[in-house]
Structure 1
Amino acid sequence: MKNTASASALSRLAQSLRPLLPGSAAAAPRMSRRVAQLAVAGSAALVLAGCSAFGSGKTELAPLAANAAQYAIQQSWSQDVGRLGDIELTPHVLGQAITVASENGSITSLDSSTGAVLWQTRLRDKLAAGVGSDGDTYAVVSIRNEVIAVRNGEEQWRYRLPARSYTSPFVAGGRVFILTADRTVTALDADNGALIWRTERDSEPLVLQKSGVLLAVRNTLVAGYSGRLSGLSPDSGMEYWEARLITPRGINDIERLVDLVGRYSRIGGDICVQAFQSAIGCINAERGVTRWSQRVNGSVGVDGNASTVFSVENNGRVQAWARNDGQNRWLSDSLQHRSLTAPLALERSVAIGDSTGLLHLLGLDDGKPVNRIQLHRSGLRVAPFLAGNQVIAIANNGTVYGLTPQ
C-alpha cells in the first residue's frame, strides 16, 4: 500500500458509515426511502475503495517520551454507567450534575464532584444518540429511530423519526429539536412529543455516523449541514441565514463528504467547527457570516477559549489557531496515530484522550506534553469535558472518571 494516510482515512470513513451499508443493523429499512436509496448507492463506492485500502496493516502508535508531569492531574472518583458501544454520546452538564447515556438504554445522572449517582433509568431500547436536556426533560434517540423523553427518571413519550439520527437532541424553550441524517430538523413539544414543525433539505449521497452540530445562539437555532451552518427560527423552522465553512469538492461522493462534526467551540455568537476530513473555521452566528476557515484533515471536532481554537488531525497532530483570524500558533506531533478524541481547552493545558485509555495534557501555549494519566485501557472515544472543577473522561467500557487538574 503506497498511501498509508489515505488507507487510514478510508478505514475511519468505513467505520463512520457502517450503519448506512446494506445489511447493517437494519438501518436502511428504517430510513426515509430517499436516504436508504442513497446509502445503498454510496456503499458500492465505499466497498470499491476499501478493496485497496484496508489491507495495509495497522499503523504503529507514536512512541511517547518520558512523562513530563509538569502540571498535576489526579483521579478523584470513578463510576460505571454501562458500555458505550456505538452510541454517539454527548454528555449533558448542568451545574454539578452530568448526565450520560450508554448503548444498553441506561441514562445516568452523576454528581460531578463525587461521582455519586443522582438518578438512573433504564429504557427498553438500545440507544444511538444522547443526551439532550433543559434540566427538566432529558431526550435520547434509540436505534429504532425514536426520540425518547424522560422526566423525573420516568419515560414520558416517544416519537418516531423519518430517518436515523446520530446527534443528541437539543432541548430548549419547551421544545426538543432533532437533526437527522437526511438533513431534516424536527421540532417536538417537550411536554407530549407532538410535532411542531419539520424542515427538509436535499439529501446527500452519504452521511456520517457521527454527532452533528445543533445548538442555540440567543433566539436562533443553529444546525450544521454538509460544510455549512444554518440559522433557523425555533418557532417555525424558517431559515434566517446560511454560512458555508467549505464547499464540497471531489470526483466521488466520499471525497465530497464534508459533514460538520459535533464537538464545537462557542464564545458568545462565535462558533468554531470542524468539517469532516477537510477544514476547520469560525462562523459568526449573530450575523450569519464565515469569519475564516483553514484546511485541516480531522474528524473529531474542536475546542477553544477566547483567543485560541484547538484541532486534532486524523494522523494525531494537534494544532492551535488564532480565534480571530485562523493563523496557526503551534503544531504538536507527539501523539501521532493514537486515535485521539476532540480536545478540551483548560486554563493552562489542552486535554486529549486516546485509544489506549491515556488522557494527555499539552501546554496551552506551545503544545508540548506536560502530563498524562492512564485510565481504562478500553480507550477514550468521547472527548473530555468540564463539570465544576472536574475534568470528566469516559472510557469505552462505561467507566466515568472525575479528575482534578492543577
Structure 2
Amino acid sequence: MTVFSHTCTRWTLLGALALSIAACSSAPDKPKPAALPSVSGQLAVQKAWSNTVGPVTTPLFASVHGDQVAVASTQGQVALIDAASGKDVWRLQLDSPIQAGVSGDGQRFAVITRNNEVVAMEAGKVVWRYRLPALSYTAPVVAGARVFVLTADRAVTALDGASGQKLWSQQRTGDPLVLQQAGLLMPLGDTLLAGWGGRLAALNPNTGGVLWETLVGSSRGTNEVERLVDLVAGASRQGQTVCVRAFQSSVACVDGSRGATLWTRPAQGHEGLDGDDKLVFGVESDSKVLAWQRQGGQPAWTQDALRFRGLSAPLVLGRSVVMGDDNGLVHFLSRQDGQALQRLSTDGSAITGKPVAAGQTLVVVTRAGGVFGFRPE
C-alpha cells in the first residue's frame, strides 16, 4: 500500500521498508492569486477571543460538542475549549505526535498518534490506548459508546468506547495508492458510512456487516497517481441525503437509506463539502467556489475571485458560506450568489481543517496553532 500526498509528489511505502520521493522543489510555481475582491460589508463579524494549541501540520480537525470545541496540535496537545469565552475546559499533552483527530461525543474524545495508537480521553485524562496495524489519516468517530477507525489499508475497526477492546474489523482491497489526508468516516442514523476508494459504503456499527455500497468516483488516467480515487472527509447531510466528494474526480449526492446515487457531477477538488436544504457548496483545487442544487445537482453559481488562495473546505453559517485560506484570512460569501460579504484576518498562517460553528461562535484553527473565535452580528 502506498500513500500519496496531493500537496507535493511524495509516496511512502507502508511497512518496515519506507521509500520517499520528494519532488516539491521541482514543482511549477504556484499561480499568483487574483486581487482580493471588495466586500459588501453587509455582514458584521467581531473577533471574540483567541487561544493557542500548537502547530498543526497533520490532518487535524476541530470537533464541536454543543458550546464546546475540541482541538489538537501535531505535537500532541489536545484541548477542549469553551466556545463562548475561549477558555480551556481542559488541556492534555500526549507523549506522542498526533496524526489524525480530534473527535468525540462530548464526554469521550479520541485521536490517532504517529505511533499508530488510538488514544481515548475523558475529562483531560487518557483512559485507554489501542495499537492499530496500519497508519490512519482520518479522525476517529466516537458514537454509540464505540470508537470507529478508518486506516490507510481501507479497514474500518470498531473499538469498545469504555475499554478500547476490538469489537470487529471490516476491510476492502483497493488501488495501491491512498490519500495522505483525511478520508470519509461518519455516522448516519443507525449506520456508519465509510469511503473505500471511490465507493461509499454503509456498515452495521454493531457487526461491521456491509449494508450497501455505491460507486461515487471512478479511476481514470494512465498511471497510479492519475488513477487515484478516494472519498475525502467532509460530507453535506440533509436528512437521509449525503453529498460527498471523490478526490479530483466528482461530487455526488446519495440516498443514505438505500445507497442509491441521486446525481453526480465532475469536480476537480480535494476538500470536503457543506450545504443546506437547497444548495451544496464545494471548493475546487484552484480555489474556485461552486454551488450545486441539492435536488438534481445543477450548477447554481460560481465564484472565482478567490482563485489560487488555497481555500479550506466550506462551512455554511447563517446566510454565509465561510472558508479560510493559506494566508490566514477568513472569507464570508453569500449563500445565495457567492458574493463577498466580509473578510477577517487571523495570524497570517494557513487555516487548517475547516471552520466550525460552536453555539454562536465561529472557530478557526491555523497552521501556526492559533485558535480564533468570531461572532457574526
TM-score above 0.5: yes
- 2:346 corresponding residue in structure 1: 375
Q: Percent identity?
A: 41
Change (3 A) 1:297 1:135: same
Residue number among 99, 102, 117 corresponding to 1:146 in the alignment: 117
- 1:216 corresponding residue in structure 2: 187
In structure 2, how many angstroms separate the alpha carbons of the residues matched to 1:170 and 1:301? 17
In structure 1, how many angstroms separate the alpha carbons of the residues matched to 2:297 and 2:198? 17
CA deviation map 1:168-199 (0-9, x unaligned)? 11011221100000000001111111111111
Residue number among 21, 24, 27 corresponding to 2:12 in the alignment: 21
- 1:274 corresponding residue in structure 2: 245
Q: How does 1:220-369 map to 2 (within 5 A)?
A: 220-369=191-340
- 1:185 corresponding residue in structure 2: 156
Q: Is the 8 A contact 1:350 1:363 kept in 2?
A: yes
Could you list the runs of 5+ residues in structure 2 that have no partner in the other structure? Answer: none
In structure 2, how many angstroms separate the alpha carbons of the residues matched to 1:62 and 1:146? 43
Q: Is the 8 A contact 1:340 1:381 kept in 2?
A: no
Aligned-partner residue type, residue 238 of structure 1? G
- 1:4 corresponding residue in structure 2: none
Q: TM-score, normalised by structure 2?
A: 0.95
The reply to whether residue 117 of structure 1 matches residue 108 of structure 2 is no
Aligned-partner residue type, residue 224 of structure 1? G
- 2:101 corresponding residue in structure 1: 130
Q: Is the 8 A contact 1:182 1:204 kept in 2?
A: no
Aligned-partner residue type, residue 72 of structure 2? A
Aligned-partner residue type, residue 91 of structure 2? Q
CA deviation map 1:36-70 (0-9, x unaligned)? 7xx85xx77xx7xx59x934223211111333322
Say which structure is richer in helix. 1
In structure 2, how many angstroms separate the alpha carbons of the residues matched to 1:78 and 1:55? 35
Q: Is the 8 A contact 1:306 1:323 kept in 2?
A: yes
- 2:42 corresponding residue in structure 1: 70
CA deviation map 1:72-115 (0-9, x unaligned)? 1111111111111x221122211111111111111100111110
- 2:64 corresponding residue in structure 1: 93
Aligned-partner residue type, residue 153 of structure 1? G
- 1:3 corresponding residue in structure 2: none
Q: TM-score, normalised by structure 1?
A: 0.88
Q: How does 1:47-66 map to 2 (within 5 A)?
A: 54-66=26-38
- 1:7 corresponding residue in structure 2: none
In structure 1, how many angstroms separate the alpha carbons of the residues matched to 2:198 and 2:100? 21
The reply to whether residue 108 of structure 1 matches residue 79 of structure 2 is yes
Change (3 A) 1:198 1:361: same
Change (3 A) 1:369 1:314: same
Aligned-partner residue type, residue 67 of structure 1? V
- 3-state SS of the aligned residue for 1:338? coil
In structure 2, how many angstroms separate the alpha carbons of the residues matched to 1:390 and 1:187? 32
- 3-state SS of the aligned residue for 2:235? strand
Root-mean-square deviation over aligned CA pairs? 1.9
- The aligned length equals 374
Change (3 A) 1:160 1:325: same
In structure 1, how many angstroms separate the alpha carbons of the residues matched to 2:85 and 2:175? 44
Q: Is the 8 A contact 2:6 2:180 kept in 1?
A: no
Could you list the runs of 5+ residues in structure 1 that have no partner in the other structure? Answer: 1-10, 30-35
In structure 1, how many angstroms separate the alpha carbons of the residues matched to 2:234 and 2:202? 18
